[in-house]
Amino acid sequence: MSDVDFESEQYEKCREAGEILAQVRDEAAERVEVGASHLEVAEWAEEEIRDLGGEPAFPVNISIDEEAAHATPERDDETTFGEEMVNLDIGVHVDGWLADTAITVDLSGHDELAAASEEALDAALDVAGPGVDVGDIGAAVEGVIEGYGFNPVVNLTGHGLGHWEQHTSPNIPNRSVSQGAELQPGDVVAIEPFATDGRGKVQEGSSEEIFALEREGSVRDRNARQVLEQISEEFKTLPFAARWLDSARAKMALRRLKQQNIVHGYPVLKEEEGKFVSQKEHTVIVTDDGIEVTTRSR
C-alpha cells in the first residue's frame, strides 16, 4: 500500500472536476448536429462548466475531419457542423486540479473509425494500474486500432495532469514503446487514443486560436499589458482562447506577447487532407490496486 491520501482535498477536487466534465461532455455531444454552430456549442459548454462550479481548463476543442487537436472557434465564428467527424475535447479544473476528456461525434458515416478509438480506450483502461509500464498501455491502444485496419496517431500522447498544469509526465503513448515510465499510485493521467485512416502523424496547420503563458514579462504597449494582466490573473499557466480576452484588439496584443516569448500559441494539429481522426479520452486516478475513472458518465 502507498502512503497516498486519496481522500485529500487534491483528489476530491480532481473528482469534482471529473464529475462536472462528464455531464458537460455528454450534453455538449448531444448539441453537435448538422447545422449547429461551433461557437454556440463551445460557449455553451464553457458556461455550463462555470455554472456547475468549475472553470474551463482549456478552451473547448472542436476538431473536424483531419483535425486532431487545438481547434477552437474564433470570437465571431459562424462555422456550422456539416456531415463531418467531430472531436470534442473538453477540460475542467477546480482550483487548478484538472480533468480532461474527449469524445467523437461522427456525422460523417465513419462508424468504424469512431469505434476504434473508443474500444482502444477501453483496452487501455483494462491494462492501466500501479506499476504498469505506459508502453504496455500504448501496445493495447495500438493493437485495437490496427485490428480495425487504422493507424494510431503516434505523435500525440496521453499525459499526466498536474496542479495548474495540463500536460505533465508521464506521457502515455498510443503505440507500443519499450522502457516507458511506470504508473504510480496517486498519479492523475489522461489516456487519449487517436485513430486515423491517414498515416498516423499530425502536423501543425497555420491557424492558431489557443495560447498559454510562457513566462512573466513586462511590455510597454498598454493594450498588451492589459491583456497580459488578464492572462496572469484568470488563466495562469493554463491554455486560453483569444476569444476569452476582454480587449477589442486581443489579436494585436497576442502578436506582441508572442514576439517577446511571453505567450506561445498552439497551432491546429492535422492529419493529411481528406483523412479523418477520431479520439476518445478519460482521466483516471491511479490507486493502490487499480484505477478510478473520474470522467465516466454518472
Active site members: 89, 100, 159, 167, 192, 281
3-state secondary structure of 181: coil
Q: Is 282 annotated as a binding residue?
A: no
Q: What gap in Å lies between CA 203 and CA 291, rounded to an integer?
A: 32
Q: Is 281 annotated as a binding residue?
A: yes
Q: Is 89 annotated as a binding residue?
A: yes
Q: Is 159 annotated as a binding residue?
A: yes
Cell of residue 60, nine digits:
473547448
∠ Cα 290 283 6 (to 5°): 50
Residue pair 273/210 in contact (Cβ under 8 Å)? The answer is no
- For residue 170, whether the previous peptide bond is cis, meaning omega lies within 30 degrees of 0, is yes
- What b/e string do you get for 265-295 counting C-beta neighbours within 10 Å, with b at 16 or more? bbbbbbbeeebbbbbbbbbbbbbeeebbbbb
Q: What gap in Å lies between CA 275 and CA 201, rounded to an integer?
A: 11
DSSP label at 231?
Answer: I
Cell of residue 61, nine digits:
476543442
Q: Is 264 annotated as a binding residue?
A: no
Q: Is 95 annotated as a binding residue?
A: no
Residue pair 59/241 in contact (Cβ under 8 Å)? The answer is yes
For residue 127, the Cα-to-chain-centroid distance in whole angstroms is 21
Q: Is 167 annotated as a binding residue?
A: yes
- Which residue blocks in 177-277 are alpha helix, DSSP H? 222-230, 250-259
Positions at the binding site for a divalent metal cation: 89, 100, 159, 192, 281
Positions at the binding site for substrate: 70, 167
